[in-house]
Every structure is written in structure tokens, then in C-alpha cells.
Structure 1
Amino acid sequence: MTCFWNISSRLPEDCVSRVLSLTSPKDACRMLVVSTEFRIPAESNVVWDKFVPSDIVSSTTLKFSSKKELFFILSNSILIDGGYKAFALEKSTGRKSYILSARNLSILHSDDINWTWKCIKESRFHEVAELITVNRLEIQGRIRTKTLSPNTNYGAYLLFKISDHAFGLDSIPCEISVTVGERILTNNTAYLRDPDDKKHQLEGLFYRNRAQLMKERVNKGDERIAQKREDGWLEMELGEFFVGDDEISEEEITMSLMEVKGNQLKGGLIVEGIEVRPRRTN
């Protein structure tokens, strides 16, 4: 960027804009504050059109005065596909992220009395799924790599809450995985519990021996636990995957959480969806 700064004053504005369109949203914003000479080319639609995905623009009815304004609207997340998905752009890179709502997931027995669908104010979606009681828990989400940003490492995260009357959810670790067809990319185990819930921590001490026996029924893993999010939900990382050049291949990614071997009745899980977002790099 330093070399560009030195020669940019000798270039026409449209040339400066085209050069900036080959950088990143973060770089373009930096140039906006460097000098008034850069403001017009750095704010032009030539630059920001490169950072806004055309497929999302064509599928929405958003109103905007410039592509730069549209970029920052999308970076704050919008609902798409009839409200069944949330879409956002990463502000620094312009990379895509999605949240598949619970209605967009495959949840075993979600259409019978084992689950209920309800509207809660904490969710960005019209409905979330709340588990009444089952002894076999299966949740899957699918997304095609073509809809994501190329050459990007992604993480998949289950977004959920634990209700006050929850039971049986952490008696045995769930098996979590990310697969492409028959190929398993990541495979692990995780506990469905609120890390700050003192009640479940005490129960874990009382039933430690029983829990150890139950754990032996599942695949070995590092037993991941959920993390608190700023929006109030919990998130559990299901795994990660890499999206290569989208012009070369298109694949379907399956993200799963299953608890099928414990035969333990459970309830009180509230599912908002599965988020697929770029992983942070150091």
C-alpha cells in the first residue's frame, strides 16, 4: 500500500479505484482516512462492487444509495431465503457467513410431539425448535461450498440455549462431525451444557461414575464445551473445513450433532440454528 500511496497522485481516479478493488474492505477504508485525495476513488462503486456478492444483491429488496452503503448493511447481517437463513459479510475481508435457522436444519422427530416450534424475542428468526423429550438426538445442517467464499477456512457452530427445565442433555457426550459425502473432515465429542450453570456442575460431581460409563459408549474426542456469545446464545463448534477455488469444485458440507447410543431421555434444548463463518487467523 505504501508504493501505491506514492504513485496514486499521478493516476486517474478510475485507475485508483480499480487498484483498490483488488485489495480488501479494510484497506479501502484505510485509504478513506489517509487523505481527501483518496476519498472519491475509495468510495466509488467500482471498489465496493467487488466486495458485494451479486447473488445476494439480486435476491434481496434492500435499498441503498451506493455499493459501499450496501456492503455495510450486509456486514450487519440480513435475513434471506424467506427468513430461513441469515447472511453477513465479514467487515475486514468481505468473506461470507451464514446462519441456517432451525427450520433450515434436519432435526430428527422435529415434526411430532417430541419438539415444539416457538417464537422467542432473543432469536433473529421467526421460530426456534425446543426439545420436549427424546432418547435419540440428531441435528444436521447442509451447505454447498459454492455459496461460500473461496480459499477460506470455515468453522461450523451450533447455536442453542438450555432451558431452566432441561434434563438429560449432558449425561453422555454427543458426537459432532463435519463431512463431505462419505469423507469425514472432523470428528469429535461435545457436551450440551451451559458452562456457567452451577446446577449441572454439581450434578456432574454426584453422577461422575455413571457419566464415565456412558462416555465409553461414544467415540473418543476432546469433549468440547459450549461458549457464550455476545448475542446471548451458546455456540458449540461442530468442526471446520476449507473451501478452495469455487471455479474448480462444488461440494455439499454436512454438519452434525448426534447422541444416539445413550438411550437417555432428554429435553430442554433450544436450537436457533447452525452458523458457518470464516475462522479467525492470527
Structure 2
Amino acid sequence: MGITQLPEECIALIMSLTSPRDACRSSVVSPLFRSVADSDVVWEKFLPPDYRNVISQSVVFPVTTLNAMPKKSLYFHLCDNPLIIGDGNMSFSLDKPSGKKCYMVGARGLSITWGDIPRYWIWTPLPESRFLKVARLHLVWWLHVVANVETRILSPQTTYAAFLVFKIEQDERGFNRKPVQLCVNFEGQEDGGERSVFLNPSRDMPQLAQDRGNGWKETEMGEFFNENGEDGVVSCILKELSCSSTWSGLIVEGIELRPRAA
């Protein structure tokens, strides 16, 4: 007996054990496969188990509209349109190949030393940002920015990479002369695996920052393995604490955590 002779619910179960990419490919096999591959039964399995709770926290896009979407449409909507959630200082999206959860902590959700003192940091709206305001560095000697993320909200059994999402202004100071230190650690652990990165390197230096295609750049801060998603906190840190130079001209949108490609 061929697979096309199986009941649709059996085909849907088999398809739900594959991947979003495989389901999309299967839809071209036959009208039967297309019907199954587009069904809510299949795409419900590709969405995170707690997706209803997450989208209920939406502060911009109507929750009723999200809940009314077919599950396949919802999946791709969440891949392509980060959802602002909670107090407006975090966004949620899905990794398109895997369906695993991605989060960005917006600048207002970060711990920024002297961040609320206007002569050091300025909070300003930018039309290209997904958040209401971003942090613009005016002038500091001591640079320290931290995102603290609870591991329970992330996908378990997943290796995550953290990325600083930023811009550098033309009249910046310090970022083309000295590197900053980037690291990712679980709370309570000593700093380790620090990366020294020039955020505005000259042409003869390695260009570690990547253009995100939306007006922002990103550079990797480090990675970690989220084993079981149990209660814990991971800290993503940008720092330069030597006080040997002044720094200005950095604009921070946030710090993003994304699953590492398998």
C-alpha cells in the first residue's frame, strides 16, 4: 500500500514529524499532499508549544487577528514580522527553517550603565527600529550594556547565538580605535569566552559586523546551549571598562537571541 492510500490523518501525522521546509516541498507532490501540507494539524506541530501564551502578550498586532489565522499563515507571519510583546521592550519571532523561538531585547529592556542620564545616553525614536526608542551613546568613559534573558522562554535543546544590533554614527569616537569586549554567560558563572571586536573597523581590519538589510548592523556576541529550558538567566554583555578612552556615536537597537543553524 502506497502512502497516498493512507488516511489523511496518518499522512498529517507523518508530515508533522518532518520540518516546515519538508512540508512545503511535500505540497507539490499531489493535491492530497497539498491539502495535508497546508492543514492546521501539521502547522500546529511546527509552532512552539506555548505560542498561544506568547502571542497573547502582543502589544501592537491584534491578538484576535493572530488567533484567527490559519496555522501555516501564522507560522510565516511570525517568521517575517517580529511581534512586540510584554511591556514593549522585547520582540518575538520564529526561526523560519526550524520554528524555534527568537527574541530581541530592545534597548529599553537592557541594563545600560548611566543609561538614564542624558549627558551620557540619549533615548530617541528611529523609523527603522521595531521599538519605540533606541539608545544613542553621547559620551562615556565606561561602557557596559547587558541583556538578561530567562532561559525558560527559549526553545529547549537548542544552541543559541546572541547578536548586538547597532549602528555607528559618522562622528563616532573610540569604536575605530579600540575593541569592545563581548561575551555570553549563564548568570552566576564567571565571564569567559570574551570576544574583542572593533564595531567600526578600518578597511584593513576584519569586518565582523554584518548588515541586517534593515538599516542596522549586527555582530555576534557569543553562544550558549539551552538544555532543558529550566529556570535560569543568560547574560549577554558588551563592555569596555578600562576608562582609557572616551566613547560616543553608538546607537543600540537591542540584543537578539537566535537559534544556531543545525
TM-score, normalised on structure 2? 0.88
- The match for 2:195 is 188
Question: RMSD between aligned alpha carbons?
Answer: 2.1
Inter-partner Cα distance in structure 1 for 2:158 and 2:105: 19
- Displacement of 1:268: 0.8
Q: Which runs of 5+ in 2 are unaligned?
A: none
Q: In structure 2, which of residues 4, 27, 32 is the aligned counterpart of residue 9 of structure 1?
A: 4
Q: In structure 2, which of residues 28, 32, 36 is the aligned counterpart of residue 37 of structure 1?
A: 32
Amino acid at match of 2:193: T
Q: Which runs of 5+ in 1 are unaligned?
A: 1-5, 205-222
- Displacement of 1:62: 5.0
- Displacement of 1:256: 0.2
- The match for 2:217 is 234
- The match for 1:212 is none
- The match for 2:71 is 67
SS in 2 for 1:20: helix
- Displacement of 1:250: 3.1
CA contact (8 A) 1:185 1:241 kept: no
Inter-partner Cα distance in structure 2 for 1:34 and 1:226: 41
Seen in structure 2, the aligned counterparts of structure 1 residues 34 and 135 have a Cα distance that, compared at 3 Å, is same
- The match for 1:124 is 130
Q: In structure 1, which of residues 233, 257, 266 is the aligned counterpart of residue 238 of structure 2?
A: 257
SS in 2 for 1:177: strand
Q: Deviations over 1:21-73 (max 9, x none)?
A: 22211111111111111122222211111122323233331513311111111
- The match for 1:101 is 106
SS in 1 for 2:194: strand
Q: How does 1:83-162 map to 2 (within 5 A)?
A: 83-113=88-118, 114-162=120-168
The number of equivalent residue pairs is 250
TM-score, normalised on structure 1? 0.82
CA contact (8 A) 1:119 1:127 kept: yes
CA contact (8 A) 1:172 1:262 kept: no
Amino acid at match of 2:174: G
Worse-matched range after superposition: 47-56 or 95-104: 47-56
Instruction: Give 4+ residue runs of structure 1 displaced > 4 Å after superposition.
Output: none
CA contact (8 A) 2:55 2:85 kept: no
- Displacement of 1:144: 1.8
Inter-partner Cα distance in structure 1 for 2:94 and 2:159: 15
Q: Deviations over 1:187-246 (max 9, x none)?
A: 2211121x5xxxx559x9xxxxxxxxxxxxxxxxxx883222222211121101111233
Q: Deviations over 1:130-171 (max 9, x none)?
A: 011110000000112221122221110101111122112333
